Amino acid sequence: MVQQWSAYEKGISELLQLILMRLSLQYAMFRSSFFSCADTQVIFLFFYFLLSQMILQITFICAVKGLGLIPGVVGRFDSSNGLRVPHIGWNALQTTKDTEILDDVGGHHVYFVHSYRVMPTDANNEWISSICNYGDSFVSSITRGNVHAVQFHPEKSGDVGISILKKFLDPSSSSKTKKSAIGKASRLAKRVIACLDVRANDKGDLVVTKGDQYDVREQSNEKEVRNLGKPVDLAGQYYKDGADEVSFLNITGFRDFPLGDLPMLQILRYTSENVFVPLTVGGGIRDFTDGNGRYYSSLEVASEYFRSGADKISVGSDAVYAAEEYLRTGVKTGKTSLEQISRVYGNQAVVVSIDPRRVYVRSPDDVEFKTIKVSSPGPSGEEYAWYQCTVNGGREVRPIGAFELAKAVEELGAGEILLNCIDCDGQGHGFDIDLIKLVSDAVTIPVIASSGAGAVEHFSEVFEKTNASAALAAGIFHRKEVPISSVKQHLLQNGIEVRACDGH
């Protein structure tokens, strides 16, 4: 069929276009004003949500019967050699032939999120327009005639991705002279994530706030909720400043009905119109019965967040309860929020937020949970500690450690871990390196370090001393104490790959 491509071009083009029309591509393509040129004859395949596996499997030759249009085998990344799977983050492309829609990509990072890939071979070489390296080289885009397909997400790759989409929709906008690469992207970058803790203040307005060990109220007599700005405006500014992702945490979601939280859903919708990097939302993702007795599954709650513009959802308390039950019974019921959401959307869309407290002990034999020898002794000279997980915004401790929770949720379907530390939250003394090393060494999925950042040096420290894939901060960005650009400049100076701030 490859040799007879010209004879099949029209039919294959119509088939692929039909597939895209019936799936989620139209949602991604028509959200923003620059997707107005609908009469283009170029077919652009987003490997998006289910498409990341479905389109690859039906176009490449593989064990599952498909079109067999392109020679190649679809396989999962091998985590046994130390790779974090899913492959999540900003990676570099190496173009293998001139393709106008990729003219502006050279030297820049683009955003990937997937667990499966196709390896380049002599048989499919004539299709390949770019490759990427993650452990080994894999096919990151193909071009044949007027058909283009990409493994990465242009709609989440900032200004570089927007440029790709514009060239796809209007090929005449491409320069006849190929631009030289101005960036220095060479491999998977460490991510710098801006987090916005969102809640209603005492007047009912949704505001961005920041806590001191999870206390978000001012220390004045009025005890008002600390107000650091409007969520949509701040998210847009962080995108312009070079944040690799933006995370919203509805910190009162554990006690409210998420689907009744229209302002939070509106924040996602408005933000996704102008922020073209991944958006994560967390808070209140769980099964729920409203005041009228109507039952809503956690999958329904997550689906509404996805429809409103979220790319990933973060599960907190519900993940703790699910892990406890799984460790007690050893049975995957398929009914937990992690299993339901990952089954429909893929584990790359599911983040588990862990909120532990450090508990010092004199000996590892004192507790049944995983302990570590701490770098700084406890208040009574204790040399060991374990990290006890909490729920309900840190208000209630549970009989499970962060180590045990992380390994359990990975098995239940989590694709990423957001690792907080209540002891470090808002202190500005740096991340809890002991905790982050413990958890990031225990799992094969990416880990995001959170809580405690107060200086640029804290970011380089966590990347140099642990296997964290990303680092998240809130207060230092909100208060403009440390600009995102300064963090990235410092990381580059220390030999740590990051996405350039001018490449969004």
pLDDT tens column, 353-372? 999 999 999 999 999 999 99
Q: Could you give the maximum distance between any two Cα atoms of the chain, in Å? A: 79
Q: Residue 411: what pLDDT?
A: 98
Region 12-31: what's the mean pLDDT? 43
> Residues 225-232: contacts with CB within 8 Å, 24+ apart?
225/199, 225/200, 225/201, 227/201, 228/475, 228/478, 228/479, 229/478, 231/196, 231/198, 231/206, 231/207, 231/267, 231/271, 232/267, 232/270, 232/271
List, by residue range, all CATH 3.40.50.880 domains of the chain: 5-173
Q: Residue 34: what pLDDT?
A: 35
Question: Pick from 316, 317, 313: which is nearest to 415 by CA?
Answer: 313
Region 272-292: what's the mean pLDDT? 90
**Catalytic site positions:** 197, 355
In sequence order, the β-bridge partners of residue 353 are 418
Q: Residue 250: what pLDDT?
A: 81
**Which amino acid would we find at residue 119?**
M
Q: Residue 211: what pLDDT?
A: 44
Q: Residue 13: what pLDDT?
A: 52
Q: Residue 188: what pLDDT?
A: 98
Indicate if the pLDDT at residue 22 is higher than 80. Answer: no
Region 443-466: what's the mean pLDDT? 98
Q: Residue 44: what pLDDT?
A: 45
Q: Residue 33: what pLDDT?
A: 34
List, by residue range, all CATH 3.20.20.70 domains of the chain: 191-354+402-503
Instruction: Name 223's Cβ contacts closer than 8 Å, sequence gap at least 6.
Output: 217
Highest mean pLDDT among 27-31, 64-68, 323-327: 323-327
Thinking of the domain 191-354+402-503, which architecture would CATH place it in? Alpha-Beta Barrel (3.20)
pLDDT tens column, 36-88? 333 333 444 443 332 333 454 455 655 555 566 788 888 899 999 889 999 99
Region 156-173: what's the mean pLDDT? 89
Region 298-311: what's the mean pLDDT? 94
Domain 5-173 has CATH 3.30.1330.10: no
Q: Please answer whether residues 169 and 148 qualify as being in contact, where contact means their C-beta atoms are separated by less than 8 angstroms.
A: no
253: confidence class by pLDDT, cuts 50, 70, 90: low
Q: Residue 202: what pLDDT?
A: 52
Indicate if the pLDDT at residue 18 is higher than 60. Answer: no
Burial state string for 360-384 with b = 16 or more CB within 10 A and e = fewer than 16:
bbeebeebebbbbebeeeeeeeebb
